A and B are shown apart, each in its own frame.
Chain A
Amino acid sequence: MLNKLTWPIPAVPILAAMVGIGLTACKILPTPSEENGGNASAFNADKMVGDIWTAKVVAYLQQKAGPFPEVHALAKADPAAAGAKYGNPKKQANSPWTFAVRLEGKVVAANTQSRAATMDVDADGDGKADARVQIGPAMRGTALRDSLDFIQFNDFTNQIDFAQFGKAFNTYADKTVLSKLPREGLEGRSVRVVGAYAVGSGQDLPLVTPAEAEIGPKP
């Protein structure tokens, strides 16, 4: 799916890292759920996510995602219309919309002190941050899971399985994409992300969870 991306600036090592995803995903790493080992059921969230990641998850987001400024403007003006176009129409009734987005812009600030590291991205060129991108390793929420219209809570035995499944998306994104991103000197670099964000209630910036992310070279 990488060839669908049009990267505006010269090829960068990150692209190579992206191409390497398929290979690195084969590396067997101990996962927290295996360590905890309490759940004797056959349910294996990490494997389920690994199995659908490239063919279904990334493909779906690529196809569904709209440019962030467009999605965000429509979400503010007409949430239902934005939901119909970029959201998951099968979401839970009282849940906020979760939108698939393509975010391109410049990093204007970064917080890599926290383990829930983020970078603030200016998408419209006014120098001000428009969205906050999670770059892990700790990540908040279940935006990736919730953006997918083929994932239904009703298909899971209970909230615990559904929750593990949601967490597994973040773990997978961290393992295969985000942990490979640079952490130093992010300000001023160009960035390109395909992911999802849930409409927040607070005054914080929209929090985007990436399924794909590329960071350009230092300016």
Chain B
Amino acid sequence: MKLTRRMTLAAFAGMLALGTAVPAYAADLIAIITPSHDNPFFKAEAVGAEAKAKELGYETLVLVHDDDANKQSELIDTAIGRGAKAIILDNAGADATVAAVQKAKDAGVPSFLIDREINATGVAVAQIVSNNYQGAQLGAQEFVKLMGEKGNFVELVGKESDTNAGIRSKGYHDVIDDYPDLKMVAQQSANWSQTEAYAKMESILQANPDIKGVISGNDTMAMGAYAALAAAGRKDVIVVGFDGSNDVRDSIASGGIKATVLQPAFAQAQMAVEQANDLIKNNKSPAEEKQLMDCVLIDGDNAAKLETFALTN
């Protein structure tokens, strides 16, 4: 429903532009496709990209694929059909997305990927992703410190089809496994989901009451885990997340979750739009297709400066 309304609005804005400004000329269109906005991270991407696109004089078409590769393929058809000049995409699968982006390329529509990589180069114009490994290392180093380099812990892993789930887990373990006194007693996927993390945490806690910490592949799972721990009277358990959401910021401020790692989602989406604009207006491609953006550790010291996946000064 939201989608149709947005499209109608966009069309209406287009008509307005036609009526008031230059006749027979509509602003160029940029399609912004992300996973569901239920996760504030993806919403921040869409909001960031949309704001930058409008600032640069574009119309926008904001769509969500709900991590469904088939739906993503249809949305890319829609973007092509609507004559989009570029697609900003947080994709629905490292392998499944390659064909969809190729399809857009064949139709003359360049894609600018954010947040998640695909397993091919030369298909998208840009792949701007957070340095998830660097971020995971920051989170794990803080976790190790909070744990005093020893104790039992649990890892909650993200959705398996998403490269970022694997790379964060790898980043965590590349740090944590150097400490033999830190013992992982359970490792489960909660598919990035808060409710699933709550349920998993409940049962893990029953089987392993002697845990001292939980390291989570993202903030929504960290929120779910912390809620389950709090409900069981185990607020003493150290929880560390990943993403830098406002929810976790507030939890850190009130002494709940201990730390997270900020991915600059908002800035990343805006950077993708700037590069799209550069290609559309100046025919200039980014120097490198794959671009990494560093993450920042968020703890009690800087949590107050965090707002919608960006740090203020």
Contacts and interface: CB of A to CB of B under 8 A. Distances in A.
Q: Do A and B bind each other?
A: yes
Which secondary structure dominates chain A's binding surface?
loop
Interface string A140-153: 11100000000011
Given A93-B291, A115-B179, A140-B141, A158 B174 contact: no
B289 interface: yes
A70 B167 CA distance: 36
A154 to B, nearest CB: 5
Interface in B270-310: 288-294, 296
B149 A114 contact: yes
Contacts of A116: 141, 144, 178
Contacts, number: 71
Contact of A159 (B117, B174, B177, B179): B117
Interface string A147-190: 00000111001111011101100000000000000000000000
Contacts of B289: 154
A115 B149 contact: yes
A63 interface: no
A138 B175 contact: yes
A204 B267 CA distance: 26
Chain A interface bracket (under 10, 10 to 19, 20 to 34, 35 or more): 20 to 34
A159 B131 contact: yes
Interface stretch (B17-25, B60-68, B132-140): B132-140
A159 B178 contact: no
A95 B290 CA distance: 13
B163 to A, nearest CB: 6
B163 A159 contact: yes
A159 B165 CA distance: 11
Given A92-B292, A114-B149, A154-B121, A162 B133 contact: yes
Contact of A96 (B94, B170, B294): B294
Interface string B38-78: 00000000000000000000000000000000000000000
Interface of B: 94, 117, 119, 121, 129, 131-134, 137, 141, 144, 149, 163, 166-167, 170-171, 174-175, 177-179, 264, 288-294, 296
